[in-house]
Amino acid sequence: MRSGASDAKADLAGVITGGGLRAVDAGALSRARELEAIGFVQLTLAVGEKVDWTGGFTLN
């Protein structure tokens, strides 16, 4: 049996892949600080007109 966190991750991954995107498990919720920092970088670049507001990051 999966834990509540595993169930939630699996459910969210299903929604993401159902929308045609690739879901990537970035680890535990404790990693959120680093992920939020990446979002802040993207917003900072967009405000400075270095990238489009619709820009983002990708994993290869």
| pLDDT digits 0-9 by tens, 26-57 | 888 888 888 899 889 999 999 999 999 988 77
Considering the entire predicted model, what is its pTM?
0.54
* Distance from C-alpha of 38 to C-alpha of 35, rounded to nearest angstrom: 5
- Residue with more model confidence, 31 or 10: 10
Query: What pLDDT does residue 2 have?
Result: 60
Rounded to an integer, the average pLDDT of 5-29 is 91
* Distance from C-alpha of 8 to C-alpha of 41, rounded to nearest angstrom: 27
Task: Copy the structure tokens of residue 8.
Answer: 């939630």
